[in-house]
Amino acid sequence: MRTVIFDLDGTLADTSGDLLAAANACFREMGHGDVLTQAQDAGVALRGGRMMLTTGLKRVGQYSEALVNQYYPVLLEAYRSDIDRYTVLYPGAMEAVSELKQRGMAVGICTNKPEALAEQLLLSLGVRGAFGSLVGADTLPVRKPDPAPLVEAARRAGGDPAQTVLIGDSDTDRNTSANAGLPSILVTFGPSGEDMAALKPEGLLSQFSDLPDLVDQVLAAYLGS
């Protein structure tokens, strides 16, 4: 069965506002106030908690790996306690998922967000049941860009890992698919959208309404059918 696996943050949903709020809670606790802003750091947020802490601490001249490690659990707890205040699904995302399933494809999620937080967020957004699998950063001993989580997400979704395309928004997603020998489609509507073409994915997506046909085209080319 052909399979479509989605990244979560920056691909299916704009989670940057809640992620930045959790990071700024840490910076306030350190005495720095709100260091990160939506306008400047939305792209940083979508690269994860450690990247936000690293970026903010360097900005205030206080960076150390030890401080990042100390506050990472604090950030996760702040995020867990207020995970969906600002988060929204991108327009047309779930309609595209529904259409892919109607076309006989399996769908799942492979994210570098901790699995429990991804599960919590998807349940809160009311869309967990639409996806046949969820593989997070800590589901396996390795995480993206290692190909194993992508392959496992396809398998758990009931699909064929050899007929899978990854939908993502970053070089991590591009490298994951490449490491698995699989195609990727990168979205251009996120904070780093203008950089996606340079990664040379098999497809670029500007709006979700185009996704079902684009998946058909990319998988047909990849599978030679």
Q: Alpha-carbon distance 161 to 177, whole Å?
A: 11
Which residues are designated catalytic? 7
Structure-token match 């957004």, residue found: 125
**What are φ and ψ of residue 220, in 5° steps?**
-65, -45
Q: Residue 6's closest CA among 76, 84, 105?
A: 105
Residues 6 or more apart from 20 whose CB is under 8 A from it? 36, 37, 38, 41, 42, 45, 52
Whether 196 and 204 have beta carbons less than 8 Å apart is answered as yes
Question: What single-letter amino acid sits at 31?
Answer: G
Nearest to 199 by CA among 214, 185, 179, 218: 185
Phi, psi dihedral angles at 183 (to 5 degrees): -80, 160
SS3 track for 125-183: HCCHHHCCCEECCCCCCCCCCCCHHHHHHHHHCCCCHHHEEEEECCHHHHHHHHHCCCC
